[in-house]
Structure 1
Amino acid sequence: MSRADAIVPVILSGGAGTRLWPMSRPERPKQLLALTAEETMLQLTARRAPVDAGFAAPVVVANALHADLILEQLAQSGAEPQAVILEPMGRNTAPAIALAALAVGGGSTPLLVMPSDHVIADIPAFHAAIATAMPRVSEGWMVTFGITPDHPETGYGYIRVGEPIGEGIHKVARFVEKPPRDTAEAMVASGDHVWNGGIFLFRADVFLDALADHAPEILAAAQASMDRAIREGSRVLPDAAEFARSPSDSIDYAVMEKAERVAVVPVAMGWSDVGSWDALHGISDCDAQGNACRGDVVAIDTANCLVRVSAGKRVALVGVSDLIVVADGDEILILPRGRSQEVKRIIEAMKTD
């Protein structure tokens, strides 16, 4: 890949990550935490598309509250961003990606859009999928990467894989909302559905043209906010009043489900969105008893537990199984495995206290 057509990684880091409370909080969301390795999830995301592998320097789109932390973590990982776009408020993924597409000039530059809080264990498989997609991306297709499912997950959207348009790449037949259990089982059994992993590859101009066709209000607000942006080194601060005019919409709803030339590359690459404490336990290295513990933990006659303890705390467990225990600062979470999606109920209950 020549430098002129080098793919620009666009790292989306605007999420709050509340499902991993109490460690993930608004001031330090999950992408800025070292949950799955010694490095943070943001740092691991940046490492997936390094300059020495032919990628361009990344563009990061983030919450303005996290600017210093993001720049510090990227510097620690050796990633020199060409721009860190600091959203004055969250407007979901379509406006965020529009800011990035405009920041690189809106031309034929290919953009690899990646959430900052996902896990990909098999990087060579990911890079191979990118190489599979690039010929069609150059022709103007917008590509999403479909995760080969290994169980009937009800927490993800799905993509029905359509007719092939090249080796390993297919038209998207349709996008499917998060399904009930029986529908998920049928789709996985059919073999022609993949998980919608939220990772995309397309040219900047193609995406902006699709916004102009299908979500012009988003494009107008993003363009106006970037026209009036303040730039401080690599930091880009879009105009808050103009950006606030943008509707809040995901790239799926705003563009991908409406555009004509949308393709999918199915890939098995050890992907997880780490969307819950249960999901983290599922990808963690466990001991012989099935426990995944980090921090000062004493576990006796204990099995199949996830335990996370922040510095200065100690947690002891005796004679229990299938628990999630998270202690961070003055906050402690305890719940049965299998119910970690209910953390959102805790967050709501605390808001009303």
Structure 2
Amino acid sequence: MIDIVPVVLCGGSGTRLWPRSRKQKPKPFLPLVGETTLFSATVLRCPRKDGFAPPMIVTGASHLAHVEDQLPDRASTRIIVEPEGRNTAAAIALAALSLPEDAVMLVCPSDHHIGDCDAFRTAAKTAAALAVEGWLVSFGIVPTAPETGFGYLKQGEAIGGAGAFRVERFVEKPDLARAMEFLSSGEYAWNGGIFAFRVGTFLQELGRHRPAILEAVRAAVAAGRHDGARFYPDAAAFTKVPSESVDYAVMENTDRAAMVPAVMAWSDIGNWQALHEALACDESGNAVDGEAELRDCSNVLVVSDGPRVSVVGASDLIVVVDGDEVLVCSPAGAQNVGKLSGAANQ
């Protein structure tokens, strides 16, 4: 059995789920779906009994206290504390340079919801087996709607008999017409930002396509320091790391890109409407978290941390109360919440 190392990336300011998510406690550390926070749920879906090694967390100093407080097993978890955010290519490189070359990394964002954990683990094992063979593997989320807010992967030729495929090409966020074409073709998947790499393969490809990132991260690791389970890369060296996503830096350039299609009730919980879709709803499509009374309503989401909210005769509405802030928006408007002055100046 392949021992898979979950590498959990934990960052961001959480402005798209304002006012519940704020800089001091962003989305990963909130119990948005069920009683478990998104971060804790990410770690818990990779248990030892299913072939996963203890996780490695990559986070910033501002999130360190939340990470350590919410870790299910703090004693066996290694934490890399980034001096500053330099995007996902650098974060993954930090983890890779802290692991053996033959280790298989399963890179997981800390703020996604996955409803079918068994399907996730099945896809992870398929992806890990491909990673051992030298592939850089993306989870291709089988699309359920013509989403324009996600990147897409076009399925290429099959690889072996494992239900995996080469990635023929990466497609940036499309307009609605193209997204509808992608959905009807059956050849495209959402790029969910979950990856499996063999450490040595990833470092080789990063050095091949973005040597400046690899060299700068390597220097920061070499000059870093340990503090128990924490590792602090050198801050001065890390400032020289170019900031680029792993998609742009590696995945769109490598000739070893593969994908494993995954149907696992996935959501990036990217805004309030995405959260509404991930929650259990009544027969009218309404979902409530907190004290609320809804009369003659449909497709309404109410989230309140205290005050009772009453809604009558409304459809397609989102109401969020958090402390002294109240947000009211439509499902379409949810994608612009992060642009509000309250979210930007929190």
Give the match for residue 93 of structure 1.
88
Cα distance in 2 for partners of 1:190, 1:90 equals 37
Give the match for residue 321 of structure 1.
315
Q: Of 259, 262, 267, which residue of structure 2 is paired with 1:267?
A: 262
Q: What residue identity is the alignment partner of 1:300?
A: R
Q: What residue identity is the alignment partner of 2:149?
A: G
Give the match for residue 118 of structure 2.
124
Cα distance in 1 for partners of 2:88, 2:3 equals 23
Q: What residue identity is the alignment partner of 1:140?
A: G
Gaps of 5+ in 2: none
Decide which moves more: 241-250 or 81-90: 81-90
Cα offset for 1:320?
Answer: 2.3
The answer to whether the 8 A contact 1:293-1:307 is kept is yes
Cα distance in 2 for partners of 1:347, 1:184 equals 31
The answer to whether the 8 A contact 2:337-2:343 is kept is no
Identity %: 48
Decide which moves more: 331-340 or 123-132: 123-132
Q: Of 184, 191, 199, which residue of structure 2 is paired with 1:196?
A: 191
* Secondary structure of residue in 1 paired with 2:311: strand
The answer to whether the 8 A contact 2:17-2:338 is kept is no
Q: Of 170, 178, 184, which residue of structure 2 is paired with 1:175?
A: 170
Cα offset for 1:334?
Answer: 0.7
Give the match for residue 341 of structure 1.
335
Give the match for residue 15 of structure 2.
18
Give the match for residue 245 of structure 1.
240
Runs of 4+ in 1 over 6 A off after TM superposition: none
Cα distance change on mapping 1:183 and 1:299 into 2, 3 Å: same
Cα offset for 1:88?
Answer: 1.3
The answer to whether the 8 A contact 2:4-2:128 is kept is no
Decide which moves more: 92-101 or 327-336: 327-336
Q: What residue identity is the alignment partner of 1:305?
A: V
Q: What residue identity is the alignment partner of 1:299?
A: L
Cα offset for 1:134?
Answer: 3.0
- Structure 1 residue 150 corresponds to structure 2 residue 144: yes
Instruction: Kindly report which structure 2 residues correspond to 1:29-68, keeping only aligned pairs within 5 A, or say none.
Output: 29-68=26-65
Q: Of 66, 76, 84, which residue of structure 2 is paired with 1:69?
A: 66
Gaps of 5+ in 1: none
Cα offset for 1:79?
Answer: 5.8
Cα distance in 2 for partners of 1:240, 1:269 equals 38
The answer to whether the 8 A contact 1:12-1:61 is kept is yes
TM-score by length of 1: 0.94
The answer to whether the 8 A contact 1:305-1:337 is kept is no
Cα offset for 1:81?
Answer: 4.5
- Structure 1 residue 291 corresponds to structure 2 residue 281: no
The answer to whether the 8 A contact 1:88-1:240 is kept is yes
Cα distance change on mapping 1:348 and 1:328 into 2, 3 Å: closer
* Secondary structure of residue in 1 paired with 2:90: helix
Decide which moves more: 341-350 or 13-22: 341-350
Give the match for residue 233 of structure 1.
228
Q: What residue identity is the alignment partner of 1:53?
A: D
Cα distance in 2 for partners of 1:242, 1:32 equals 29
Q: Of 150, 157, 160, which residue of structure 2 is paired with 1:163?
A: 157
CA deviations on 1:11-43 (whole Å, 9 max, x unpaired) are 011122211011111111100000011000001
CA deviations on 1:32-57 (whole Å, 9 max, x unpaired) are 00001100000110011111222100
* Secondary structure of residue in 2 paired with 1:86: strand
Q: What residue identity is the alignment partner of 2:125?
A: A
The answer to whether the 8 A contact 1:46-1:79 is kept is no
The answer to whether the 8 A contact 1:119-1:271 is kept is yes
Cα distance change on mapping 1:81 and 1:156 into 2, 3 Å: farther
Give the match for residue 211 of structure 2.
216
Cα distance in 1 for partners of 2:174, 2:207 equals 30
The answer to whether the 8 A contact 1:277-1:324 is kept is yes
Cα offset for 1:137?
Answer: 1.3
Give the match for residue 135 of structure 1.
129
Q: What residue identity is the alignment partner of 2:167?
A: V
The answer to whether the 8 A contact 1:57-1:80 is kept is no
Cα distance in 1 for partners of 2:75, 2:254 equals 33
Give the match for residue 305 of structure 1.
300
The answer to whether the 8 A contact 2:18-2:343 is kept is no
